[in-house]
Chains A and B, each alone.
Chain A
Amino acid sequence: MDPLIKVIGGVALAAVVVVSVTAIGQRAPRPAAPYAVPAYSAALNQQIAAYAAVVGPNAPKAEADVGGIKLRSVGFEIPTQGRAFPPGPNLEAMTTNCMSCHTPGMILNQPKLTAAEWTGEVNKMIHVYKAPVEEADVPAIVTYLAALKVGP
């Protein structure tokens, strides 16, 4: 077989595979990171709710309407701005390492945990959930967490 045809055949085969995988595993495109969204005021939220109770202000037009059930596309902004970490020693280690995956409220709502327990939690975030935490910052993070005031 002509080597050129072989190559073209290989490329064509690869193209077919790529196309079929894309078609089968089709997912919506990864959305933009949602960090820049300002917090809604209650009044704004009520306005939005009154304006578009179901579809949302950003909704595309498409509907699925079959056999008496109609579904309408939706488009909303999801609030992303939560509470801030209270000031204290090592605050910067918290704000630069511990807000990628979740807002501070997740941490501030935890019960009193020991430094050893917090170390376990931080290491779980790094090694299991791949949180972008600087290993060198772990002692500072744990110190901050173990000193958090919990309870009344």
Chain B
Amino acid sequence: MTKGATATSRRTMLCGAAASAGLAATSSWAAETVTLGLKGGPDQRALTTAFPQKGSMVLQRTRPPLLETPWSVFDEGVFTPNDQFFVRWHWAVIPETVDLATFRCAVRGHVNKEVSLSMADILALPRFEIAAVNQCSGNSRGLYEPRVAGAQWENGAMGNAKWTGVRLRDLLDHVGVKPGAVAVRFNGLDQPVVDGAPDFMKSLAIDHARDGEVMLAYQMNGEQLPLLNGFPMRLVVPGWFSTYWVKMVSDIEVLDKPDDSFWMTKAYLIPDTPHASVQPGQTGFPVVPINRLVPRSWFTNVTAATKVKAGSPVPLRGIAMGGDCGVKAVDTSVDGGVTWQPAALGKDEGPYSFRQWTATAVAPPSGALTVLVRCINTKGVPQPMESNWNGGGFMRNGVERVALSVA
């Protein structure tokens, strides 16, 4: 009954919103647009500055917000500015106001002492800082062929920041984890729009939660988190995909049995196969929750629109990430991957950070200069030459290639 009443009232409001939105129905829905490399379309997106604490962002969806970092930002340095850091929410009920006078984060469940902590309490715990890439599980989904449904990101659903906060281990030691704990589940202030829908929660195995790197961050790049990036604090899981990086964390529950809730058992599952890859149409394969990041690398100073002069040296620049460990090497190739030349690596900001790389290629007398870049991480794992494919559009990391036209 409550559900029906809620749905009705929401329906009424929505009709009002639809009517007033009529003006936006024309083709002039965006003053400035950007074209993404999504084969078959739709490839046009608005650039928006309408979101609080955010500069120019690629608008993938207004409500709940999906905002992609414009690609040019990644050429400016290895740390992504907070005001252009990507934004991804599952449910549209997002608090617009967070009052530190009343905000509390519960730590409860299979612990010796259940507590409700203010941000002042959290700030008083020992501090920890780490650079880490936060990458959406579905980053680059729009580049898959055949295409798959879901948020149609190009490559900008990721960012790198220096995170400051408290180690989860220190917080758990503060309350005392009881013997027999197996997992820790995190919930934030966001909630589903409709009753009965699964609230967004994620969990980590207890040993992972206590590994001394998983943390609750209240600052990124030296500033408090933007509201849309999870103010007042979010989980940071270095080396793991962003789905675990719960925003606006307000509830931490230590579990004495595995988490069987929706977002761990039904969503964000990948094929349990090499590179999480299957054939389109294939069924019957085992699946596991997505987990560790994999190595990737990109060009940031050239695109398919870049023109180079025949026979001249072409400076190449980009970023790389090792995934769940550091970057061992970045190589480029101008012969389709038959031979590779090592790129120079920039400053090492830690194993989970982006690493800048530079190289030089020489343009041929005519035609095109097709350049490839690959990362090999410190575990010796290289990017695969060809991208994986799966129906969720998860964990893409094939070698990037760009064809530059020679003039």
Which residue numbers of A lie inside 8 Å of B, CB to CB? 23-28, 30-31, 33-36, 39-40, 42, 45-46, 48-49, 53-54, 56, 58-67, 69, 71-87, 95-96, 99-103, 105-106, 108-113, 117, 121, 128-132, 150-152
Q: How far is the CB of B300 from chain A (nearest CB, A)?
A: 24
B152 within 8 A of A: yes
Given contacts A36-B17, A56-B227, A112-B40, could you give 20 more A-B pairs where the C-beta distance is less than 8 Å?
A: A27-B250, A27-B251, A28-B98, A28-B103, A35-B10, A64-B118, A64-B123, A71-B100, A78-B228, A79-B62, A79-B63, A80-B92, A85-B25, A101-B91, A105-B61, A129-B198, A130-B196, A130-B197, A150-B40, A151-B40
How many angstroms between the C-alpha atoms of A40 and B66 in the bound complex? 17
Given A36-B13, A48-B52, A71-B218: A109 touches B152 (CB 8 Å cut-off): yes
Q: Are A111 and B147 in contact (CB under 8 A)?
A: yes
B38 within 8 A of A: yes
B284 within 8 A of A: no
Q: Are B18 and A42 in contact (CB under 8 A)?
A: no
With beta carbons under 8 angstroms apart, the residue of B25, B189, B193, B231 that contacts A84 is B25
- Residue picked from A48, A71, A131, most chain B C-beta under 10 Å: A71
Q: Are A24 and B99 in contact (CB under 8 A)?
A: no
Closest 7 CB pairs of A and B: A151-B41, A82-B62, A76-B52, A62-B101, A66-B123, A111-B147, A84-B25
30 contacts between A and B (CB under 8 A): A23-B116, A24-B108, A24-B116, A25-B251, A26-B104, A31-B97, A56-B52, A59-B97, A64-B120, A66-B123, A74-B98, A78-B51, A78-B228, A79-B63, A83-B21, A83-B24, A84-B24, A85-B25, A86-B25, A95-B18, A96-B14, A100-B193, A110-B42, A111-B152, A117-B149, A129-B197, A130-B197, A132-B7, A132-B194, A150-B41
Chain A residues lying within 8 Å of B14, measured Cβ to Cβ, are 35, 95-96, 99-100
Q: Are A73 and B96 in contact (CB under 8 A)?
A: no
Q: Are A76 and B62 in contact (CB under 8 A)?
A: no
B317 within 8 A of A: no
Number of residues in B with C-beta < 8 Å to the partner? 87
Q: Are A30 and B96 in contact (CB under 8 A)?
A: no
Chain B residues lying within 8 Å of A24, measured Cβ to Cβ, are 106, 108, 114, 116
Chain A residues lying within 8 Å of B17, measured Cβ to Cβ, are 35-36, 80-81, 99
Q: Are A60 and B114 in contact (CB under 8 A)?
A: no
Q: How far is the CB of B243 from chain A (nearest CB, A)?
A: 16
Closest A residue to B105 by CB, please name it. Answer: A26
Q: Are B97 and A60 in contact (CB under 8 A)?
A: yes
Q: How far is the CB of A75 from chain B (nearest CB, A)?
A: 4
Chain A residues lying within 8 Å of B66, measured Cβ to Cβ, are 106
B328 within 8 A of A: no
Chain A residues lying within 8 Å of B16, measured Cβ to Cβ, are 35-36
Chain B residues lying within 8 Å of A109, measured Cβ to Cβ, are 42, 45, 60-61, 152
Q: Are A69 and B15 in contact (CB under 8 A)?
A: no
Q: Are B96 and A128 in contact (CB under 8 A)?
A: no
Q: Are B99 and A73 in contact (CB under 8 A)?
A: yes
With beta carbons under 8 angstroms apart, the residue of A75, A81, A105, A151 that contacts B96 is A75
With beta carbons under 8 angstroms apart, the residue of A31, A85, A108 that contacts B95 is A31
Chain B residues lying within 8 Å of A103, measured Cβ to Cβ, are 61-63
Chain B residues lying within 8 Å of A74, measured Cβ to Cβ, are 97-98, 227, 231
Q: How far is the CB of A78 from chain B (nearest CB, A)?
A: 6
Q: How far is the CB of B383 from chain A (nearest CB, A)?
A: 25
B350 within 8 A of A: no
Q: Are A111 and B40 in contact (CB under 8 A)?
A: yes
Chain B 163-195 near chain A by CB (<8 Å), digits 1 or 0:
010000000000000000000000001011111
B282 within 8 A of A: no
Chain B residues lying within 8 Å of A75, measured Cβ to Cβ, are 96-99
How many angstroms between the C-alpha atoms of A84 and B17 in the bound complex? 10
Q: Are A81 and B116 in contact (CB under 8 A)?
A: no
Closest A residue to B36 by CB, please name it. Answer: A109
Given A25-B108, A28-B250, A86-B25: A77 touches B96 (CB 8 Å cut-off): yes
Closest A residue to B150 by CB, please name it. Answer: A110
Q: How far is the CB of B154 from chain A (nearest CB, A)?
A: 11
B314 within 8 A of A: no
Q: Are B15 and A95 in contact (CB under 8 A)?
A: yes
Q: How far is the CB of A88 from chain B (nearest CB, A)?
A: 11
With beta carbons under 8 angstroms apart, the residue of A28, A35, A59, A67 that contacts B13 is A35
